[in-house]
Amino acid sequence: MRRSVRLFLCGLSLCVLALSAALPAPVLAQDMDARARAAAAASRARSSDSEAISQNYLTPGLSNQPITTIDGGRSFATSLACQKSATMLELLAQPGSSGDITHLTITRDKDLDGSFDSSLTVPMTISGICANGIISCEAGTWNQCNAFKWDVGAAGDLKLTQAELSDLSGCYCVNASCGTNLVSGNLSSVLKDLGGGVIGALTTADPRIGVSQASIDGPVIRYVGAQTTACTSGPSVSATAYKTNPTAISSDAYDASQASSVFTALSASAAGSGKAELTSSCTIEREITVKSWDYDDILAVSGSITSVTSCGANCRRYQIRGAGSCGATPPIYTATFDPVAPDRIVSARIVEMGADDWVQARVNGEIVGYAGKRQWLSSGLPTGDCRISGDPWYNRNAIDITAQMKAGATIVGARVRGGGGGNWGYVTIEVTVDTACAVSEQLVDLCAGYAGNSACRLTAEDVDGVETVRNGVNTGLKPLPQTRLFGTGSCTYQYARDFFLRDRRYSCITDSAGQSQPDLSRAVYIIDHSTETMIADRIEAADGSVSATTRAFSMPDRPTVSSCEAICKTRAPKANSGVAPDGAVAQRQNDPTGWDSFYHVCSTDFVCPLGEGEEIVSGCGCIDDFPEAVVMMQTVRLAGSDLACTAASQ
């Protein structure tokens, strides 16, 4: 038995082969069903959840290991990472008797060369953990709490920046004020939450970093990392260019469309012709950024520094000191001053040189001064014998090296020659910096492209929560000028502006009516005159004559399938350790214990795979919790409405 059915829709310039069967329908159906089920099972085995995807694709891809196809028949090598590290980051957390985390150490491999080169020990107790930071309170209590956000400094070092609790998310309490042994009893999830916040800050600062694997060993969590996205020396890559200049998206998209043959073909096709109205949303946002600076954010110093002393506000003195000998070539002791923010260096001077017998000051290899009985401004040795006097020599004539230090990394050296009981010499450098708060304000207008297009009209606008335009008509409402606080700590500023955020919606007309419309008459005829067992068609010949045809048609039998994927709902007890600006959630509840709900896919024999500590709420079946989700969302919406404030004259 051989049947062949072909369906053509030539009016759409599209020929679709609907069915060509070389075997009886039941045999073909069974074969297709078995192959589909086998393919689905193989795909699910390798990508059914995040752990399987990470194990089979992400981890080998970032580790330059072969990736195997779904059926396991073939494998191929990838080269997604420029650099990789066996352990990019290691985090150690240990709780104290009060339940707080009293010791947290984070060790990093910053350059991904396989060895640790940076370490941070958090100097405060950790009473609460957030998705992007931590909370530190009095030990064992929820009093005198301060919030901190994970951040990355200008030199790429991880740090904690004080922030408002509203700037953090997903916060919960871990010390004794909210329960007993919350850290020890949930150590795995605590380590994941701490590590997730750190990794989030690092990948935000440097989008090249990719994390391929995380493993927990007791109180330690380790992350395997790699450098992806761009094999460059700097974190600024093309993938993040629109973050600093979002208005460039529209023009770049237009340029890309004009250079694309695919876009040109589609826009000129029958499907792309005609007239349509496209609705787009955009924002005009006032971004105000307040940044605090400290001395170490501006200048990094390394080398032969023997002492660092304060010389006033934002001023430090660095001494380079060493011993010399008359019987050998005078040694040179050097220190490197690397300006992270050169514009914030106010002054840099060599303020003192002292020696017994001679010291010579050098800046980037150039001799700039000396201290000694006789002049020493050459690469040779000073005239006269060593140990010519029992008194040391000093030179306190300041030498300005501000220009050299602003220009980049500056090497200052002290060349020492001496003998007898006096064989020392030193050079003192004084550096003053500006640690004033940096404030920047910019108006990010993502609506400029729509506002300047004559084919677009404004249909809706919301200004700081006030609806000013509805359905293209002004409502007559205008927001009052607002005053908002920006920054934290000593860098807190108050700004009053007429608006901070405008949400707009534009409707734009796209017109290509000059092109011919597609002829859909044949497709309409086929749809209107065909049945489940017969296909009707109407074909126009070259001479203009039209002939109508009918053909028998049938689909192969398909096996019955379940109306849904069987799932089950479970729950497990959990301490209500969440926190908010008003305090810990458990302090506002009668029962400090709540529940976590879980949904699991049931096995083929309708068994619910329970996790640790879980109990079944709803057995395997077609569970529909949509009404419950709607009630929860409506509750949150109404709660937000209750918190809205309106001003009225008394």
Following DSSP, what letter does each residue of 183-201 receive, concatenated?
HHHTHHHHHHHHHHHHHHH
* SS3 (DSSP) at 29: helix
Yes or no: say if 6 and 533 are a contact pair by the CB < 8 Å rule.
no
- The pLDDT value recorded for residue 623 is 87
Report whether pLDDT(93) > 90: yes
The residue ranking higher by pLDDT, 192 or 87, is 192
Residues contacting residue 626 through CB under 8 Å, at least 6 positions apart: none
With left for phi above 0 and alpha for psi between -120 and 50, is residue 442 left, alpha or beta?
A: beta
Q: Exposure of 279 by Cβ count < 10 A (0-12 exposed, 13-18 middle, 19+ buried)?
A: exposed
When pLDDT is cut at 50, 70 and 90, the band that residue 127 belongs to is: very high
Mean pLDDT across the chain = 82
**One-character DSSP codes across 69-99:** -TTSS-EE-----SEEEEEEEEEEEEE-TTS
**H/E element, 263:** helix 261-267
- The pLDDT value recorded for residue 206 is 82
Total residue length of the chain:
650
Question: DSSP H helical segments within 271-414, as ranges?
Answer: 295-298, 402-407
When pLDDT is cut at 50, 70 and 90, the band that residue 269 belongs to is: low
- The pLDDT value recorded for residue 426 is 95
- The pLDDT value recorded for residue 27 is 47
When pLDDT is cut at 50, 70 and 90, the band that residue 22 belongs to is: very low
Instruction: Report the range of poorest mean pLDDT among 157-161, 226-230, 280-284, 287-291.
Output: 226-230
Q: Mean pLDDT across the stretch 339-364?
A: 92
When pLDDT is cut at 50, 70 and 90, the band that residue 490 belongs to is: confident
Q: Is the entire prediction scored with pTM above 0.75?
A: no
* SS3 (DSSP) at 409: coil
Q: Mean pLDDT across the stretch 351-360?
A: 90
- The pLDDT value recorded for residue 236 is 65
- Six-digit token string for 469: 């335009």
pLDDT per position as a tens digit, 436-483? 998 888 999 999 989 989 889 999 999 999 999 998 888 888 888 888
When pLDDT is cut at 50, 70 and 90, the band that residue 634 belongs to is: confident
The residue ranking higher by pLDDT, 626 or 212, is 626
- The pLDDT value recorded for residue 13 is 30
pLDDT per position as a tens digit, 534-593? 999 998 888 888 888 999 988 777 777 778 889 999 999 887 778 877 777 777 777 777
Q: Mean pLDDT across the stretch 65-74?
A: 83
Yes or no: say if 75 and 67 are a contact pair by the CB < 8 Å rule.
yes
